[in-house]
Structure 1
Amino acid sequence: MASCLGADPAEVIFTSGATEADNLAIKGAFRAHPDAPVLITSTVEHHAVLESVESVASDGATVVLIAVDHDGRVDLDQLRAALAGHAEQIALVSIMYANNETGVLAPVAEITAAARTAGVPVHSDAVQAVGHTVIDFAGSGLDALSLSAHKFGGPVGAGALLARRDFRLSPVQHGGGQERDVRSGTLDVAGIAGMAAALRAAVDELTRESDRIRTLRNRLIDTVLTTIDGTELNGIRDPAGSLPGIANLSFGGCSADNLLMLLDQHGIDSSTGSACTAGVSEPSHVLEAMGRTRIQARSSLRFSLGHTSTDVDVDRLLAVLPGAVELARRAG
């Protein structure tokens, strides 16, 4: 695990997944810094982060939310201003590495540089990034990083928190003192072995697969934007600022739920937001934070491409999508 991610083996703390890792990083950092009650995060985080910071607010934490622009990029000026206030009172900055709904990459180097100047540790939920973009934990400037095995082809229920040895953490669960005494509990050795094998395979194939998948994504986006009126990309095209396999698109005049069902009838899977919030009727908090109206957010679908995706899959989607959009607009 460490060799794949530019970390030291002693920095790998095994967990049941990234939700646990996020909780451990945020709650553990807050409890380890009793004189620093401030936590900084962004408005587009996964609920595992947002609800973790909300949970410690009842214990006296002050939560500062950093905005994003129209494309979903973190407002670095706002972050620097927050860090420049009372840095000694800030326990942690937590900004996700790549957004799970839009694929937008955070400017990790700039975030960690600003935080380092202020002497504040940084955690990143990198669930969507690990195995899909190059991760160098040692060179990133991060103090902690969360990951989940199933996002890069490993087994469900295995994950890890990479944490520098000097990153102060208090345990969230207590017991036998495993994992540097910050994550007690018997480990799922078979799941961990599967996670390590999947990560090695993903990293070894990363460059080739990223190029292949990004080509599919670009074709999907280009065709939709040029052939279906009233569509918009939610995110960034630039490879330097986006993951290769996520395309979030708005279809004006459509209910995304109707469009999702119509595509499902053709055997095509898509999502109206995070898979973790499937079935929730509320519009995406990520898209609303990017300045989309509730109507626009409710008209957006996320298409995810991965190692099993092919040109044939994209061809099939593009063949049925215009008709599905027309039907969804009539229903709307």
Structure 2
Amino acid sequence: MGGLSARVRVANPSVSVDLDVAAGSTLAVMGPNGAGKSTALSVLAGLRRTADSTVLVGDRMLQDARQFVAPHRRSMALLAQRPRLFPHLSVRRNVAFGPSAARLGRTEIAARTEHWLRVVGVDDLADRMPGELSGGQAQRVALARALAVQPDVLLLDEPFAALDISVAQQIRSLLRDLLAERRGATVLVTHDLIDAVALARDVVVLDHGRVVDEGRTADVLTRPGHPFTASLSGLNLFVGRFDTDAVDDGAGRRVVGVAADDLGDGQACAAAFSPRAVAVYLKAPHGSPRTELRAQVTDVLPRGDHAVVRALCGDQVVDAEVTWSAVTDLGMAPGLEVTLVVKASEVRIYRVPPATGPS
């Protein structure tokens, strides 16, 4: 399987985006509603044809000014927010649909179907109809159906958006393990910081149909190169390696929290927490806070009736939400040295793809 290289050009809505995804890796495409994420995905999938767009997978040109390969011949699979299972087919027949349409032999169809039912954990539901499934079960079946065709490119369009938080985390963990074993390219469209951190090595951030930031996920989201990227999620992201109950950046800075995944010491991970969980002090506070970070203020920004103090901890950015009276009382200004205290109970720690964390 080869990588994906695409040049997406759409006039209405205006989208001009170049995407490159190496074989075996995952690219997250982030941005607000209307940024052009779904439009770009529709071009990749062959659901929209424009004269100036090109889509190349490996050495196979799927779309350019002279040729256009139909969606069902692109070796691509799309998993969207809604499972969209065939209501008249059982779970087993839903998963077998793709291999059957590819006219594989009966033995191969059966083998693939049973394999993916087992891998996603729905083999005990094989004879049920879609109407008898929960939302999480249906999304697992949809994932098995997508992977059963062994696509060169897997397209994921907000795959957890319709699930509740606990189910989304289960499916996210399952998908992360499956993506780690894939040889093909994967494109994940999401507005969720956690999806990007947990699943994608690289990220592209779109706004108004243009790329405003791109690079390794941890680099872009912890050291944003564009103001829009910094405000994208509203969460802080502190990356490093897991150590007992904390994320350690390797330079003595640690953020303690609650592990949302099974983590072993030394694994690449990221701590996600709200700016509201961060308190700012001019001097180290009394007591023994579990997370205490020395930092330098780089900016003070308005956010509603509060202010966001942006500070640099080593080479990572951490935001703290404070009152304007606190800004005045503490004399907050760029260059000021401060101590940040992060409430451990508000921090969730996620495992991330190895290439996302520090070396």
Tell me the TM-score range normalised by the shorter chain.
Answer: under 0.3
TM-score (norm 2): 0.26
TM-score (norm 1): 0.28
User: Highest CA radius of gyration, 1 or 2?
Assistant: 2
Larger proportion of strand: 2
Larger proportion of helix: 1
